Amino acid sequence: MPPRKRPPANSKFQVRKPADPGVHLEPFLNYLEAECGMAANTVSAYRSDITQFLDWYRSQPSCPLSQVDLKFLSGYLQHLNKRRLAATTVSRHLVTIKLFFRYLVLEGILAESVADLLNSPKLWKYLPKVLSPEKVNELLMAPCNADRYPLRDRAILAMMYATGCRVSEIVNLPLDSVKLAEGYARCVGKGNKERMVSLNPVAVAAVEAYLKYERPDLTRRNPAEQALFLGRGGKQLSRIMVWNIVKKNAARVGCSKEVSPHTLRHSFATHMMAGGAEIRALQELLGHANIRTTQIYTHVDHSRLKAVHQMYHPRG
């Protein structure tokens, strides 16, 4: 993880006196953003996790950082389990703590990281929930005249399904990065990695309608705004607003309450696999750093497995 290395054991390196861990929070977050190149949303999640840990740390009997041991940290994991958090959430908290303690070692605050001795909880592999192509079509047509900006909402839904982009990538999409005539857009994903995503005719038509009839009105209050999708005040739409747009329209077409913006991303990937897309190409389209993340969609698409079995099995 860290680009820097711990000083060798035979150096004249001196471990500094441990201080209250709270004073290291901001430097740690700056380190993650500046040196590790983590995205702002990821850094924000680490801030939340470490803040919760520090609140619990201060509620315990006085224990200098240099005396924190495996038993002490196990107590925090027990505290998280008592809150009945999901195993995935507990695992994420543990990763955050490990990164924080490794940072303290790198900075000379601690001589070693006892957090590395903790084992992560075993996680079940949950298959992502997806919508059928028919239900996706209903969702894309759900925005209506009762909405304040139905063309914008329809364009957002169409873009998310056409590209498989994350919600943060959609709200941060600049106007000049969308090439409707050529049928593609450039988005920036995790780790500030840029990739090109394709736009289907439905998405192109939806965005064209939004740009022609609604966006000019939205830009009157803030003509300099460069984001593609804008809110009522003419500023870049927030992730929460997109979340609400998806939830509202999903409820209209009778979708489960569990449907979220990421459901459209899962649906995009699953339908691509069902259509015969190569997994390496899908990895590039989704912006996954590791192909193992993409491989989950090979387990979701049972119809493709069945077709392969029927085609190649002697008794198929």
Q: Which residues of the chain have pLDDT under 50?
A: 13-18
| CATH 1.10.443.10 domain locations along the chain | 133-301
Residue-level pLDDT at 17: 45
Question: Known catalytic residue: 220?
Answer: no
**Among the listed residues 45, 261, 299, 267, the one whose alpha carbon sits nearest the alpha carbon of residue 153:** 261
Residue-level pLDDT at 125: 61
Q: CA-CA distances (angstroms) from residue 42 to 32, 48, 61, 63?
A: 9, 10, 31, 29
Question: Known catalytic residue: 297?
Answer: yes
The tens digit of pLDDT for each residue in 86-104 reads 878 888 999 999 999 999 9
Active-site residue identified among 215, 265, 266, 271: 265
Query: Which residues, including other chains, have CB under 8 Å from residue 283's CB and lie 6 or more apart?
Result: 291, 293, 294
Residue-level pLDDT at 4: 57
Q: What is the rounded distance in angstroms from the CA atom of residue 158 to the CA atom of residue 155?
A: 5
Question: Known catalytic residue: 154?
Answer: no
Q: What is the rounded distance in angstroms from the CA atom of residue 281 to the CA atom of residue 273?
A: 10
Question: Known catalytic residue: 98?
Answer: no
Active-site residue identified among 190, 247, 252, 304: 190
Q: Is the CB of residue 310 less than 8 Å from the CB of residue 316?
A: yes
**Among the listed residues 149, 125, 120, the one whose alpha carbon sits nearest the alpha carbon of residue 300:** 125
Pairing, β 184-188 against β 178-179: antiparallel
**Among the listed residues 238, 213, 207, 235, the one whose alpha carbon sits nearest the alpha carbon of residue 223:** 235
Active-site residue identified among 47, 135, 195, 262: 262
Question: Known catalytic residue: 83?
Answer: no
| CATH 1.10.150.130 domain locations along the chain | 21-117
- Residue 152 CA, distance from chain mean position: 23
Q: Is the CB of residue 298 less than 8 Å from the CB of residue 127?
A: no
CATH architecture of 21-117: Orthogonal Bundle (1.10)
| Structure tokens belonging to residue 298 | 């090979």
| Strand ranges of the sheet holding 194-198, from the earlier edge strand across to the other edge | 178-179, 184-188, 194-198
C-alpha distance across the termini of the chain, in Å: 47
Residue-level pLDDT at 303: 65
| Structure tokens belonging to residue 261 | 């913006």
The tens digit of pLDDT for each residue in 116-155 reads 888 876 655 666 788 999 999 999 999 999 999 999 999 9
Active-site residue identified among 166, 215, 266, 271: 166
pTM of the full predicted structure?
Answer: 0.70
**Among the listed residues 243, 224, 220, 240, the one whose alpha carbon sits nearest the alpha carbon of residue 232:** 220
Instruction: Identify the sign of the CA torsion 57, 60, 64, 67.
Output: negative
Q: Is the CB of residue 273 less than 8 Å from the CB of residue 282?
A: yes
The full length of the chain comes to 316
Q: DSSP strand E in the chain: where? A: 178-179, 184-188, 194-198
Instruction: Report the CATH fold assignment for 133-301.
Output: hpI Integrase; Chain A (1.10.443)
Beta-ladder partners of 200: none
Q: What is the rounded distance in angstroms from the CA atom of residue 99 to the CA atom of residue 28?
A: 9
**Among the listed residues 148, 165, 230, 243, the one whose alpha carbon sits nearest the alpha carbon of residue 199:** 165
Question: Known catalytic residue: 190?
Answer: yes
| Structure tokens belonging to residue 58 | 């201060």
